[in-house]
Structures are given as structure tokens and as C-alpha cells.
A and B are shown apart, each in its own frame.
Chain A
Amino acid sequence: MQATLALEDGRVFRGKGYGAKGECYGEVVFNTSITGYQEIFTDPSYCGQIVVLTNPEIGNYGTNAEDNEATRPYIEGLIVREFSRVSSNWRSSQVAEEYLEQFKIPVLAEIDSRALVRHLRDHGVMRGVVSTLETDADKLVAKARGIPKMDGTDLAKVVSTKSTYVWETGERSHLPDEVVGFKDEPARFHVVAYDYGIKQNILRKLRGEGCKVTVVPAQTLAEDVLALKPDGVFLSNGPGDPEPCAYAVDNIRRLMGRQPIFGICLGHQLTGIALGGKTFKLKFGHHGGNHPVKQLHSGKIEITAHNHNFAVDPDSLPQSEVELTHIDLNDGTLEGLRHRNLPLFCVQYHPEASPGPHDSHYLFKDFVKMMEEWKG
């Protein structure tokens, strides 16, 4: 099956189509993680984006029931160099291609994906179309230009849960339980998590640290959150531009100081705005599992998982209230902050990893500590 990618600037790549027949539209971004394609497929933060994976061999270990970050894939489309027709791994329950086909996600493979990545690096992320139906370049480019821009769109409320639910299960080892006996600790804290597109591993981590988690829709009012009598509030990751999510910013403002707050990714950006800061769009974003992030107070480095196109401008933040806690060593962008007097901290990157290194798991412990102290 022949497939074509057309970018809004007119560049076209032709290759083979896998997965679903059809067409998909979105902002084309690249991710440099070597492992974890299944987690990437199912990360709601990728809503509205077509993902290019720089690892040329994708699908090798298939897909399984445990490694999903959501109940379905959120990427609009997938672009790779080589897409494995078979899977080989003791945990694999389905070949990657079948999995994507089942959810109608088209795959473009066997193109010069490195050339595409270099193009995006030099010219910035841009809108694109992957089609297995249309081959005419001009038509496709026109379609690409017709796609609504990511900047200014609120996707959080699109992907957010429509109803409140409680999350019960903690982290599981990838080994069968008979190899490692495992059971969850009894929950000691109650966390209300705003779902702007939350990854399940965040929920697993929180539960693993002894928190019962109530997940609420993105637009839930601060009052309704407080009514749930939480010990802390969590602000999740999510897709799209933080700027238009005024409702979220407003709720965060009203929760600040009244509850310990921990935010990740979009949650961090929204907090930044709530604190009076500004966000801006990065040329081609950070998407990968190898970014060095420095803890400013200790000087220690964490290798971290990233997935963001926007960032908070540190100079826009009120120095008096806000302490910058983490920066990215590759480009110096802000990766974490805390409030000087209120129980509030957040990071731009993904301590829950999945996929990615586990160096930053400590942040979940910090959150629990913060809740303990708040409880007194």
C-alpha cells in the first residue's frame, strides 16, 4: 500500500502504508526515544499530532495490555523508517500493526525519516497530512495548510475524561506476579487529579506512593475539587496550547495555597500562567527520553523524558514568589519551578517516564512529603 506525507511548506515524502487505510492530519513532531513506542502511541499529549520516531526499527516487540498510557492510541498518525511485520517478546499480545489498524491509525513507513527530522529541526514543526488514498502532492499540501494551527487551540478539554472516576491500581512490574510477588500499599492520601490528558503511569505512580486518586474533568471547578476533601491536587500533562485554557488557570489560582499542588507538563505550563508567567512555542519542541535536566539547588543531573512543544518563559515569572528548580542543559529552557511560600511545585518534563528513564521518580515522593507536612 503506497502512502504519502505532505507538509504545509510543500515538502513531500512517499513510502509504504501500514496500519489503517485512510488519511490523518496534524502537527508533525519527532520523538527521539529508542524504546517505548506503545506508550507514545497512547499518550494523550499527542492528540492532534503525527509522530515521527527517529528509531528506525519500530514494532519489534509488539504491543501488550500493560504498557498503555490510555485506553486507546492518541497519535493521529505514525511515521517510521521500518515497521516490523512481526513481534517478538514474551509479553507481546498483538503485532503493532494490527493494534494501530484496529484504532484506524495510518502508518507511513520506509521513508527517509532522518531527512524528515532534519527538515523539522531546521524549519520547525509544521502541519502535515499522511494519506494512503490521495497521491497528488498539491492536493495534499493544500489539505495540510487547511489544518487548524496547534497554537491557540485548547485540546485539553477535548481529551479529558467526561466524568469523575477513582483510580485503584499501582505500578506493576513487567515480570509476571509469580516471579515478583506484588500488592499495593493501603492508600494514605487522597489526591484529586485534573485530567488534561493524563497518562496512566502518573496515576500508577501516585497510587504506588500510597495515594487514592480521584480523576476529574479538565473544567471541574476548584470548589468542587475542594469538596472532595483531597490531601493534594495534581495537574496533569496534556496536549495543545496552554494559553487558551483560561478555565484551568483560573481554577489553579483558586487552589493555590489551599491545597498542596503538583503539576506535570501542561499542568506546569498552566501553573506558570497562573503565577503570572507567559508561555511560548518551541521551534520543534522536546520529545524524547534522553534530556539532561539539572536540579538547580543540588546541581545533580537527571536524564528525563520530555514531550512538550510549549515552555514557560522564566523571565516572565515573579522572582519574589517563584523559585526556578530545574533547567534543561541542552537549550537552557525552564523545566521546573516551585512557589517560595505556598505548597506548590511542578515540572515541565515527565517524572512518570513511561517511556523514559526513572531518574525523576523522587518527585512523587516529594509530593507525598508535601502533603504530609501540609496535613501536619
Chain B
Amino acid sequence: MKKIQINGSAQGTTYHISYYAKDCVIVKSQIDSLLNAIDQSLSLYNPNSLINQFNQSNEGLTVDNHFVAVTKAAQSIFQKTNGLFDITIGPLTKAWGFGPVKPDSLPNEKAIQSLLPCVDSRLLYWEGKKLKKRNPCVQLDANGIAQGYSVDQIALLLEQNGINDYLVELGGEIRVKGKKWPEQTKMSVGIETPGEDFAPTVMKKIVWLDKGALTTSGNYRRYRESGGKHLSHLINPRTGYPFENELISVTVYAPDAITADAYDNALMGMGLRQALGFVEKQPGLGAYFIYRQKNGNIADSASRIFRSLLQP
């Protein structure tokens, strides 16, 4: 077995894939064309993508398999999180300047109130492969979930080609299967330290995996500033305003990356106590939280499943 590595750029970030095989069975061009197809479907940054066509349409349109898979997963997590994860958040992320276009000023109360009636996954319904909207103002933003989905699709491509030992990472979202060769150990994944922009020296925790996915959501690098205050890019779909609580970052462990990715934002919104309780009730889900205590100190906390990953 040899270790084969593929590195590249996609979806406005980078990816790193390592897999163990007798030969190089998957090459970079296959990864790039897969990611490109997902972009064509779900990227807001691609003006001709299906998602942009859907957003501009009045009633909705027939969508491709990527779109179906991501939207159905999003609808399921919408229900499980009582609407804290909502793929119809498009109008709000756009207004707050976390979309492809950055408005010069932040939205006022009136603007936000006018957008809230457009934000509700129950405004979506299916007619076969046709995704319909009940209100023309409904706009999707798959950024909280499409990256996790992409990681799963790469993993699927590897497995379909007989690869059983791999680590896929795209934009900090990870999926792992199997072991490293020849040492036969689990793969190790570092959880990046939040808080300090350019201090990559301290890794808060290292976890060891032989299956499953890890994604992290946090407030510490992607934000806008307003009056010296950092505004989180994570918007509460129910209030229209950025989440504000003690959580700095959440790292979620789940069987696949789309699930981990969809939950991480919602958990950020719940706050530590509720999020920890929520995670413990979901089978197969684990989470690691970094948060700010009332006295300003940074602390961390992990769920039961997550604690088991901290042992090699």
C-alpha cells in the first residue's frame, strides 16, 4: 500500500485528500470534475448555478441529484433543530453581507423584518424532482451544508473505487475511513484553536478516527465588523440577527459530513447548555465546544461520544 495525496482548490477554499492503495486509482481531475459539478448545482458564487436559477425563479424548478440530496438533508435537519438550521436563509445572509455581494451597510430592523417571511423551509415542497416554493421571495443558501456534502461525495467516489483507507478534507471539514499504512493506526485530526487570528501554534485537541466525519463551525474567522463589534456570519433564521452566545466554536462528529456540517451551525446557535443536551440525545452524534466563560476565560467541553475520540 502506498500513500497517495491530492491537493487542490475548490469552493473558495482548499482540499487535501490522502488515501492508501496499491496504485493511484483516483486522480486530481476526477476530484475537480466532481466538485465542479456540485458547484454548478449549489454554489451561490457561480452565477449560472442551479441554486441561483432557483433563487431567481418565481415558483421553483426541476433540480439535479446533488440538489435533491442536499435539500432533503437540509429539510430533515430543519425539523430536528426546530428551524435553527434553515436552508432558506438566503435573503438574510445576503442582507448581512455574507453572500457573494457585500453591501456597504448593515441591514436595519425594518429590512430584517421584511425578509423574515421569506425564511422558512416549510415554504419548500417537492413535486417529483421539481423543488417548488410557496413564496417567490424564498432563496436558498446551501453554504452551511454543501461543503459537507462535497466531502461525502469525494468519500463515495473513493469507496466506489475500492479505497477503504482515506482522509478527505475540504475547507476544514473532514471525513475518514480506515487506517494509516503501514503503521495501522487511526488517523489523527487537530481541532484548530479559535479566538486568535494568527496563532496557529496551539491546537486545542487532537482526535483519532477510523470512521466518520468532523466539521467545525465558529465565529472566530469569518465575521463582519460593525462599531468595533464582531458580527458572526451565523445568522439565526428565526430572528434574522447573528447568533450571540458564549460559544466560540463547535466541532461536530457524525457518521457523514453532511450531517455534521448541518448540525454544527445549529449547535452554535443553541448555546452551550442546550447544544450539549441536544447532542447527547442524537444517536451517533458527538460534539466539542469551545466557549467563553462569564469571567472572559476560554473553556471547552465535549459530549460523551466525542470524549471517546480523544484516545488514540
Say whether A and B bind each other. no
Interface residues of chain A, those whose CB is within 8 Å of chain B, are none
Q: B residues within 8 Å of A by Cβ?
A: none
